[in-house]
Amino acid sequence: MASPEIEALSGALARLPGLGPRSARRAVLHLLKRRETSLATLLGALQAVNDRLSTCSICGNVDTSDPCAVCADPRRDARALCVVEEVADLWALERSRLFPGRFHVLGGRLSALEGVRPEDLAIDGLIRRVANGGVDEVVLAMNATLEGQTTAHYLAERLEQFPVRLTQLAHGLPVGGELDYLDEGTLAQALRARRPLA
Amino acid sequence: MASPEIEALSGALARLPGLGPRSARRAVLHLLKRRETSLATLLGALQAVNDRLSTCSICGNVDTSDPCAVCADPRRDARALCVVEEVADLWALERSRLFPGRFHVLGGRLSALEGVRPEDLAIDGLIRRVANGGVDEVVLAMNATLEGQTTAHYLAERLEQFPVRLTQLAHGLPVGGELDYLDEGTLAQALRARRPLA
């Protein structure tokens, strides 16, 4: 229908998560209509990221510098290490600006179904960072899924030989959560972990 | 949170229709994780389109050549001209491969609300193409909206001085449409335009 170049762009966009063939075509039209603004901006941004992209050799974060901005920041507390499954999780925690320490990205979660074994994740690097000392607390910030929790338990076993405090994120009601609409699993977690009123 | 380059890419993607800040971040992560495949492919595709993009000086289609592939194709029937509001509409009709003629893109629709007047659309170019002769039929393929139909009526008035057949797309039940779920406007159109059984 359109030229091969436009078709190729449409196909490349359609492969992004959240976009399908139809929305990719709409996005292409949007770009074509706004050549100087949208198209040039997106092109420049992609080019810049492509030129400078690297994976942090310390924590596994993706950034345009190695070590990444978090690892290179001297104000970050090196004694607290937060282990996450994916770079997306690191970014989510960074957006909240609540964790003052450093990170370690596993690059996935243990999964018998998908055949992901410990050696497929960045676990050796984590053990090495903890073994090198200087870390007081390791926060196992895995997802609250079966596989995430399996991974957290596995890591806890591997790390218990070191003199570090192992913690995990609290499970319970999300902010704004109404009991009536919550799943039973969350309710059970929240009840089990109930705390005395201050 | 992430580097300025990654933030800029995320922002540029978030401005595409169908993507918001959240899905743009997911798309960025998808690209960062698949640097050689997704990122390089998208970058190349954008670059190619940016380098060769042009608006067809005959019909207003957006393509990587001028005249566009449709206007340049000698097998297209120059006697039938299909007028559409947007390039997206042209592409939708081209995907159906049902129209053997050529196109004319208005670049919008008349709208009192949005202040779009006849001189804001590519109407003079349309009149010129029809006045030059060689056109037997003009299909006014506007959207079945108030503004689309207003535009069609306006064009019909402007074109009635020429010896061409003016037609418009049929309105009625969409394929697979169930009476029970259709809006009253569509039902009314379908009933008004009812045809004898063959």
pLDDT tens digits for B92-125?
888 878 889 999 999 999 999 999 999 999 999 9
Token pair for B128: 């010129």
Cα A51 to Cα A37: distance, rounded to the nearest angstrom: 21
Based on the fold, state whether residues B41 and B116 are members of the same structural domain: no
Q: Is residue A61 part of a domain?
A: no
Based on the fold, state whether residues B83 and B155 are members of the same structural domain: yes
Task: Identify the CATH number of the domain in which residue B28 sits.
Answer: 1.10.8.420
Output the pLDDT for position A182. Answer: 78
pLDDT exceeds 70 at position B8: yes
Q: Is residue A66 part of a domain?
A: no
Based on the fold, state whether residues B94 and B22 are members of the same structural domain: no
Q: What residues contact residue A132 under an 8 Å CB cut-off, 6+ apart?
A: none
Based on the fold, state whether residues A106 and A164 are members of the same structural domain: yes
As a three-state string, the secondary structure of chain B is CCCHHHHHHHHHHHCCCCCCHHHHHHHHHHHHHCHHHHHHHHHHHHHHHHHHCEECCCCCCEECCCCCHHHHCCCCEEEEEEEECCHHHHHHHHHHCCCCEEEEECCCCCECCCCECHHHCCHHHHHHHHHCCCCCEEEECCCCCHHHHHHHHHHHHHHCCCCCEEEECCCCCCCCCCHHHCCHHHHHHHHHCCCCCC
Based on the fold, state whether residues A17 and A89 are members of the same structural domain: no
To the nearest 10°, report the CA torsion of A140, A142, A146, A149. 0
Q: Is residue B23 part of a domain?
A: yes
Q: Is residue B123 part of a domain?
A: yes
Chain A residues close to B32, C-beta within 8 Å:
49, 53, 62, 87
Dihedrals phi, psi of B18, to nearest 5 degrees:
95, -15
CB contact under 8 A, B12 and A41: yes
Residues A28 and B48 sit within 8 Å (Cβ to Cβ): no
Q: Give the residue among A111, A115, A108, A110 at the shortest CA–CA distance from A158.
A: A110
Output the pLDDT for position A198. Answer: 63
pLDDT exceeds 60 at position B21: yes
Q: Which of B2, B43, B52 sits opposite A46 (nearest CB)?
A: B43
Based on the fold, state whether residues B95 and B25 are members of the same structural domain: no
Q: Give the residue among B73, B69, B35, B33 at the shortest CA–CA distance from B54.
A: B69
Is residue A76 very low, low, confident or very high in pLDDT (cuts 50, 70, 90)? very high
> Which residues are bridge partners to B138 per DSSP?
B81, B166
Based on the fold, state whether residues A39 and A80 are members of the same structural domain: no
Q: Which of A29, A38, A48 sits opposite B88 (nearest CB)?
A: A29
pLDDT exceeds 60 at position A1: no
Based on the fold, state whether residues B48 and B84 are members of the same structural domain: no
Q: Is residue B192 part of a domain?
A: no
Output the pLDDT for position B97. Answer: 80
Q: What residues contact residue B4 under an 8 Å CB cut-off, 6+ apart?
A: A64
Dihedrals phi, psi of B86, to nearest 5 degrees:
-130, 160
The sign one gets for the Cα dihedral B88, B93, B97, B100 is: negative
Range of the domain at A25: 4-52
Based on the fold, state whether residues B31 and B91 are members of the same structural domain: no
Output the pLDDT for position B118. Answer: 95
Q: Which of A33, A50, A65, A85 to mutate to test binding with chain B, by most B CBs within 10 Å of its CB?
A: A50
Based on the fold, state whether residues B92 and B161 are members of the same structural domain: yes
Chain B nearest CA to A7, separation (Å): 9
pLDDT exceeds 80 at position A85: yes
Output the pLDDT for position B193. Answer: 78
Residue A163 CA neighbour count, 13 Å, CB half: 3
Pairing assessment for the beta strands B54-55 and B62-63 based on DSSP bridges: antiparallel
Q: Is residue A40 part of a domain?
A: yes
Enter the ipTM: 0.70
Based on the fold, state whether residues A111 and A27 are members of the same structural domain: no
Q: Is residue B42 part of a domain?
A: yes
pLDDT mean over A140-168: 92
Task: Identify the CATH number of the domain in which residue A119 sits.
Answer: 3.40.1360.10
Per the structure, how many domains does chain A have?
Answer: 2
Is residue B73 very low, low, confident or very high in pLDDT (cuts 50, 70, 90)? very high
pLDDT exceeds 70 at position A60: yes
Query: Could you give the C-alpha distances from B52 to A3, A33, A34, B89, in angstroms and in order?
Result: 10, 14, 14, 22
Cα A156 to Cα A177: distance, rounded to the nearest angstrom: 30
Q: Report the alpha-carbon angle A154-A104-A84, nearest 5.
A: 60
Q: Is residue A33 part of a domain?
A: yes
> Which residues are bridge partners to A54 per DSSP?
A63
Chain A residues close to B28, C-beta within 8 Å:
49
